[in-house]
Amino acid sequence: MQAFDPDLLRTFLAFAESGSLTNAAAAVGRTPSAVTAQMQRLETMIGEPLLAPSGRGRILTPAGEELVVHARRILEVHRDAWLSLKGASTDGRLALGCTQDFADSNLPDLLRRFGRTHPRVRLDLRVGRSRELTSAYDQGLIEVLIVMREGPTPDELAILREPMLWLSSSDAPPTADSELPIAVLDPPCGFRAAATAALDETGRRYRIAATSPSLSGLRAAVRSGIAVTARTARFLGEGIAVAPQALSLPALPNAEFSLRLKAKADKPASSLATLLAEGLAAGSERW
């Protein structure tokens, strides 16, 4: 029986989560031809096609869909084993800063895995707004940072892209009046800027019906039904749904988040950053 090469599985998942060989090549840092060769090696090992032609691109076959489940499990075990052997005797502390978007979604599962493999490392978790967290990072108070992206930086380990959505109360969304009520965070806020820019560009009249310095306040305003807001699918939850099409809201751009690792970071920080880069990227594709 042949063993699966983790590198082949990573490339395969990059295709499954991005939907194209070109995107997969960019994700794993290889050429499209090299990615194609890796997929052919996997198919030879398994004895069945994993990809099938579909228009100008390719899609997963039933065998490919099944391999996705196994590949995620194999790589998770592989990653946990590597982290455990590297981190079991490591102690110290590290500071992680992230926005509420991630703290409320798949970050806890990733931190749980890090805690299992680095039981002696103390984690200082800071959850807040991007501007304040970036300031703390620049002051050396945070080693691993996840915030809304403002531009490329030399210490950027990964870029997480997720579609922005118009969200409203699932029980009592605003009606299609001539003036759209919106709820936004206090400036500066990338979501606020994107929402108002999209409305301005399409000539849609709106008014700011609610503001808040925190996501908990924004969530309360949206759930009440007094306004819609622009966030990613991570903001969905009890009482909040995608805004109805009847509101005829303009398209929004992707939200970009940056994962940054402090220069000369120690091994626990580097291990956590690597785990987050892989885990959050996979989560972003599903969101």
The fold of the 165-252 domain, in CATH, is D-Maltodextrin-Binding Protein; domain 2 (3.40.190)
**Is 4 buried (19+), middle (13-18) or exposed (0-12) by CB count in 10 A?**
middle
Tell which residue, 215, 187, 184, has the closest CA to residue 131. 187
Mutual angle of helices 32-46 and 21-28, in 10-degree steps: 100
Q: Please name the CATH architecture into which domain 88-159+256-286 falls.
A: 3-Layer(aba) Sandwich (3.40)
DSSP secondary structure code for residue 246 in this structure: G
Domain boundaries in the chain?
6-84, 88-159+256-286, 165-252
Give CA–CA dist 215/129, Å, rounded.
9
The rounded distance, in Å, linking the Cα atoms of 32 and 26 is 8
Lowest mean pLDDT among 44-53, 76-85, 118-127, 271-280: 76-85
| Structure tokens, 90 | 């490591």
Could you read off the pLDDT of 158-212 as tens digits, one per residue? 888 899 999 999 988 887 777 999 999 999 999 999 999 999 999 999 999 999 9
pTM over 0.75: no
Give the position of tokens 């030879």: 44
pLDDT band at 11 (very low <50, low <70, confident <90, very high): confident
- 3 state DSSP class of 11: helix
CATH topology of domain 6-84: Arc Repressor Mutant, subunit A (1.10.10)
Residue 90: pLDDT band with limits 50, 70, 90: low
Residue 286 has pLDDT above 60, yes or no: no
Whole-angstrom distance, CA of residue 184 vs CA of residue 207: 11
Residue 190, judged by CB atoms within 10 A of its CB (0-12, 13-18, 19+), counts as buried
Q: What is the pLDDT of residue 129?
A: 92
CB 283 within 8 A of CB 257: no
Q: Distance (Å, rounded) from C-alpha 30 to C-alpha 168?
A: 41
pLDDT at res. 87: 47
> For all residues of the chain together, what is the average pLDDT?
87
Domains 6-84 and 88-159+256-286 share a fold: no
Please give the share of the chain, as a percent, with pLDDT higher than 70: 93
